[in-house]
Chain A
Amino acid sequence: MSALLEISGVSVSFDGFRAINNLSFQIAEAELRAIIGPNGAGKTTFMDIVTGKTRPDEGRVVWGDRSMSLVGMSEAQIARVGIGRKFQKPTVFEDQTVADNLLLALRKPRGPLAVLLFRPTTADLDRVAELSTEIGLESALARKAGELSHGQKQWLEIGMLLAQEPRLLLVDEPAAGMTPEEREHTTSILVDAAKTRAVVVVEHDMEFVRRLNCRVTVLHEGAVLAEGSLDHVTRNADVIDVYLGR
């Protein structure tokens, strides 16, 4: 497997505080990966760096077959090369309908003129309907996203990510605030999605991570502490020390 995303030697400081410290790791094509670690370990900051929100002080972030450097590209450009991101707290456009939210995310030209003249085709609407079934919102298409429950908003945001058809999906704490049933549904959506693309999930809930049944990376103080299967990392003495043991 070739690496889809390769991060090497990346460091970031905020006012002298090293949030990411010489971080290196790789994500392969169509890989499902979980990232765990204590609060403030730098999980969200890692996503900020990959998606262009935060510029690394040093290090390389390299993407795709043609080894494109993502450092210095704008958020929108990075999104367009195929990296989708879900935020820690659900962010959907509350003032717009579920269908509009999905249409907005659909993989289509993003320039102002193309968007101005855009009219959804039947194929587009079918795709929206299909996505809404996948995320269990088929009956809510015409509702305002703001009326949805917390869990439904999380799903809508995942649905929007899928609509973007990214090659890499970064998902920050998707199960936060969800009921056990909702968590199960979320797991299956993510596992499904990872069949055709790479998915990186940040999560605190160990049960959730176990169900994802994938390779796990443990971050601590901005660097990789351990990597491997969940059983492997949970037996690691350092991990027990800084994360699990508390």
Chain B
Amino acid sequence: MQRSFITRNPSVLIFLALLALFTLGVTVLSEAFGIGLISTSYVKVLGKTLCLALVAVAMDLVWGYCGILSLGHFAFFGLGGYMIGMWLMYERTRDIVVGALAEAPIPPTEQEIVDGIGTQIFGVVGSNEFPLIWSFADSLTLQLALVVVVPGTLALIFGWLAFRSRVNDVYLSILTQAMTLALALYLFQNDSGLRGNNGLSGLQNLPGVEQPQSHVSMWFLWASALALGLGYLLSAWIVAGKFGSVIRGIRDNEARVRFLGYSVETYKLTVFTLTACIAGIAGALYYPQAGIINPAEVAPITSIYLAAWVAIGGRGRLYGAVLGAVFVSLVSSWFTGGKAPDIPLGIYTVQWVDWWLVLLGLSFVAVTLFAPKGLGGLVDLWVERRSPNRHGADLGPDLGSLREKEASQ
């Protein structure tokens, strides 16, 4: 069964092979385990990009396949980050507090340690009490569970309310924007219990780990690659079968699916919630690599970017979403990182740090109008142009030789 799924969907195999190759390549070139051509900070950029690709796959599932233009999936991504961030910050601070109190003449009580952690973490918002939502922060297992449970529950409640009242199209998109805005505003408050606009920081430090960041960054890259691979496989399996047929039907003609006897609302809710959970996992892997999370991460605009990546990459195909996320976020970090040369226009100089967003917006519009298939459409061109009798021919380095394998299948 598994084999027939792969043979029916060769793009899955190609994707997983490329991902494995990429991971291996980065490992060989890394400072920690290889020849040191890629700096640790760039390893983090790449690892984060894999997480963005994963949330883009989720976005493609909910939008490209099921037709729900959610402009709130970064809220779930951010919540995943907050959940793991709470444990990281708690345990890390605990190490520091225990270390500091060890020099005291009398050994500290458990309560003194907890109070110490509270003062350390919440001092910036003028408090030293642990809010209720931190109840499980000392348990890695529970916080890991919350990474999927919290986004999943929020999506379930929100989706249930919205889909049950048959809110559709642009109204639904606006509602999801309102949801992520409300979450951001809530988190911005100092008494939200998550340190207001300071957010959670120092997340790159794993408690109890002695290895340097060069190692830790590689672990996270591997974990992100694994999560992306599994998430991609799961999504591809879901859309390949009859379930995929139903949700594409919902996207194209919701009423018809209803009159066939499928409960459209249940399907939408299932996809919405599942993708929220995937987004949560992606976020939980992203923020330890970013080192910090604050409420700006779940601002409404971030979810709109996510939709733009998927549109530019080509929605309705999973590798399109990955292409879009990887391409746009890498290009974006190039432009905003100050590496792109300014364009002097005499009276005005175009500085890409400011103008990059305009460029992104224009590309979004251009893709929507002129190339609705996005970057993924290029793959179509390539596949159509590929003449089947070129077996054995040298198709070129790396990428090309992989496709040749498929050509000879």
A residues sitting closer than 8 Å to B (CB atoms) are 51, 53, 74-76, 79-80, 84-85, 87, 91-96, 100, 103-105, 110-112, 115-116, 118-120, 160, 164
26 A-B pairs within 8 Å (CB atoms) are namely A53-B255, A74-B258, A75-B255, A76-B259, A79-B259, A80-B261, A92-B256, A93-B248, A93-B249, A93-B252, A93-B253, A96-B248, A103-B245, A104-B242, A104-B245, A104-B249, A105-B260, A110-B263, A111-B263, A112-B266, A112-B270, A115-B242, A115-B243, A116-B241, A116-B242, A164-B261
Complex partner residue of B241 from A80, A111, A119, CB under 8 angstroms: A119
B258/A112 in contact, CB under 8 A: no
> Could you tell me the distance in whole angstroms from the C-beta of B84 to the nearest C-beta in chain A?
28
Q: Does B46 have its Cβ within 8 Å of any Cβ on chain A?
A: no
Complex partner residue of B246 from A53, A85, A115, CB under 8 angstroms: A115
Q: Does B321 have its Cβ within 8 Å of any Cβ on chain A?
A: no
B248/A75 in contact, CB under 8 A: no
B245/A96 in contact, CB under 8 A: yes
B260/A104 in contact, CB under 8 A: yes
A40 CA to B238 CA, complexed, in Å: 43
Known: A76-B262, A93-B252, A93-B253. 17 other contacts (CB 8 A): A76-B261, A79-B259, A87-B256, A91-B255, A91-B256, A92-B256, A93-B245, A94-B252, A96-B245, A103-B242, A103-B245, A104-B245, A104-B249, A111-B266, A116-B243, A118-B243, A164-B261
> Could you tell me the distance in whole angstroms from the C-beta of B254 to the nearest C-beta in chain A?
10
Q: Does B267 have its Cβ within 8 Å of any Cβ on chain A?
A: yes
A75 CA to B256 CA, complexed, in Å: 10
A93 CA to B65 CA, complexed, in Å: 13
Contacts of B242 in A (CB 8 A): 103-104, 115-116, 118, 120
B245/A100 in contact, CB under 8 A: yes
B residues sitting closer than 8 Å to A (CB atoms) are 1, 238, 241-243, 245-246, 248-249, 252-253, 255-256, 258-264, 266-267, 270
Contacts of B253 in A (CB 8 A): 91, 93
A75 CA to B1 CA, complexed, in Å: 34
Contacts of B241 in A (CB 8 A): 115-116, 118-119
Contacts of A164 in B (CB 8 A): 260-261
B248/A110 in contact, CB under 8 A: no
A74 CA to B249 CA, complexed, in Å: 18
Complex partner residue of A76 from B1, B245, B248, B258, CB under 8 angstroms: B258
B263/A76 in contact, CB under 8 A: yes
Contacts of B264 in A (CB 8 A): 76
Contacts of B267 in A (CB 8 A): 112
Contacts of B262 in A (CB 8 A): 76, 110, 115
A80 CA to B259 CA, complexed, in Å: 9
Contacts of B245 in A (CB 8 A): 93, 96, 100, 103-104
